[in-house]
Amino acid sequence: MILSIIYNIDLAANMLSGAYKLSVSLGKRFTVTVFQNNDVELNNEKFENILSELNIKPEKLLILENESKTVSELCEENEVLFLFIQLENYSRKSIQKQLNACRDLRIPYLLYRNDFKELNLEQVIVPISFLEEEIEKAQFASAFGRFCNSKVLLLPAADYGSKAATTTTKMTDLFSKFEFKWEIIKATKDSFKIDEDAMRIAEKQEAGLVLVSASRDYGLDDVIFGPKELHLIKKSVIPVLLVNPRGDLYTLCD
């Protein structure tokens, strides 16, 4: 299931079109949920008319009042594979609110700004740092390559150590089992700046999506200034697909 969560249906055309096309490419069902606030009147007829104009045929249309269900509840009920969330605005508070709501998800998610273009999966950038959880992005990158005809561009960090290079090798070993296009391109930044470098390269390469690992934990700087993913979403000109690290897989043994 591909789930799109909408706050303003009139501004969600690009997000909805991209999410629906992804569901078709992956052969997955598509559901749209609207959280209706007190300032916006939306009925089923208007909802269906807007979707019809976009040539979108979701399996379910849900209108909920005032976020009566959490993101986690919606994803669990609908067995969601990919999640799209429309940002109400681009303030730090609004973005952080959605990031907090998605912290426990084990699926990739996109916080979609209304000024983003329709999702373009011709080229997908995958930055790779020294963190071991980066390998989790391989399965999603592979899915884009196999089912969406994406060219996957791997961007290992320019570190002195070998961890990013080792993860890159593991990813390419997986990719080699399937028929799709992928390439390793040279980064200019180390692991601490690789995501920002990915955004620069994505714009230069005219890529349509960047896969980023969300912060494993929030440190003091993240609490005060916001985590890296918040700043990436605010600055990026293309969608950023976030993947939460699996805490249960990266726990030190006694």
- Average pLDDT across the chain, whole number: 87
User: Residue 217: pLDDT band by 50, 70, 90 thresholds?
Assistant: low
Beta-carbon contacts of 16 under 8 Å, excluding residues fewer than 6 positions away, are: 4, 6, 32, 51, 54, 56
| Between 8 and 122, the higher pLDDT residue | 122
CA atoms within 13 A on the CB side of 72: 8
Q: Report the distance separating Cα 87 and Cα 15, nearest Å.
A: 10
Q: Could you give the strand order of the β-sheet that contains 182-184, starting from the edge strand earlier in sequence?
A: 60-65, 30-36, 2-6, 82-86, 109-112, 240-243, 209-213, 123-128, 151-156, 182-184
| Between 33 and 226, the higher pLDDT residue | 33
Q: Is the pLDDT of residue 44 over 80?
A: no
Query: What average pLDDT does the segment 180-209 reach?
Result: 92
Query: What average pLDDT does the segment 24-33 reach?
Result: 92
pLDDT at 215: 80
Q: Please tell me the pTM assigned to this model.
A: 0.90
Q: Is the pLDDT of residue 147 over 70?
A: yes
- CB count, 10 Å around CB of 180? 17
User: Residue 8: pLDDT band by 50, 70, 90 thresholds?
Assistant: confident
pLDDT at 61: 83
For residue 136, the one-letter residue type is E
Q: Is the pLDDT of residue 249 over 70?
A: no
pLDDT at 193: 93
Domains and CATH numbers, the chain: 2-112 (3.40.50.620), 123-249 (3.40.50.620)
Q: Is the pLDDT of residue 40 over 90?
A: no
Q: Which two tokens stand for residue 250?
A: 């990266």
